[in-house]
A = this chain, B = another copy of it.
Amino acid sequence: MILGAIEAGGTKFVCGIGNENGDIIEKISFPTTTPEETLKLVTDYFKDKQIEALGVGSFGPIDLNTENSTYGFITSTPKKHWKNVNLLGELKKHIDVPMAFDTDVNAAALGELEWGAAKGLDSCIYMTVGTGIGVGAVAEGKLIHGMLHPEMGHILVKRHENDTYKGNCPFHGDCLEGMASGPAIENRWGQKGVVLSANPQVWELEAYYLAQALVNYILVLSPKKLILGGGVMQQKQLFPIIIENVVTLLNGYIQHENLLVNIDNYIVPPELGDNAGLCGALALAKNMISKLS
């Protein structure tokens, strides 16, 4: 089975074809310029590929409510030229196969569930800690959408008593994203995270906030795996500190082996590496085919 996949990002659109086992057969990427230019390249690419379905994991915010007239649109993005663009509609004009459309983080969560760190499970959370903090979730085998789109990156956190940084979320100030995204680190410490590796204070504080979010995700969704990716999570020393904080915060409340004995294998990095985004989109396409058959 040949499936198409698009990882639609603010910098580039990665397109590729693959199969139902998550193998990428070929891929290509186009810079994100104007919608006209970029989408022409994208749709031309797929013209002779004889794909059976297409999965699209997109940057956002996007409208995922199939009942809305703006379903499939990129909505209120600050990205120039891309506000209120009917991404899915444009693709459908030129490519005549079933399409699945979701957020980049939901695609990543599904990809990790199909072929990566959460393989064989029916739930997981995928969190990317980068320029923003985005989270995708699968529960009971289904991607979670709800009323609008879950925005777990903005959940409330308690500030650390020694942390005077006010937070950089334009809406909430000191929500999770406001306190723990890459730019928040840079703002607080006056240097980019990548050069702060050797300063343990930075990562203690970072883990303090990320752990609070994970604890709330565990209490609300009880996912079977928590997968943490994105630029900031390149700092691998974060994992053990996050885990320590999660254990302290839960304080034995959840008596499950994932937390009691296997926690190093419960809160983990992604497994799909460079192809994560594209594999995620492929997983969306695969899911779409199973739904149809």
Name A residues whose Cβ lies closer than 8 Å to a Cβ of B: 76, 123, 137, 139-140, 142-152, 154-158, 171-172, 212, 215-224, 249-256, 258
Contacts and interface: CB of A to CB of B under 8 A. Distances in A.
18 contacts: A123-B147, A140-B144, A147-B222, A147-B224, A147-B258, A148-B222, A150-B219, A150-B220, A151-B222, A155-B219, A156-B157, A156-B212, A156-B215, A156-B216, A158-B158, A171-B252, A216-B216, A220-B221
State the number of copies, please.
Answer: 2
A98 B244 CA distance: 43
A40 to B, nearest CB: 31
B222 A150 contact: yes
A149 B222 contact: yes
A223 to B, nearest CB: 6
The residue in A147, A172, A212 that gathers the most chain B C-beta atoms within 10 A of its C-beta is: A147
A261 to B, nearest CB: 14
A254 B144 CA distance: 16
Nearest to A148: B256
A147 B219 CA distance: 10
Given A140-B145, A146-B222, A221-B221, A156 B158 contact: yes
A76 B255 CA distance: 10
A139 B152 CA distance: 15
Contact of A221 (B144, B157, B223, B251): B144
Contact of A219 (B123, B140, B151): B151
A114 to B, nearest CB: 18
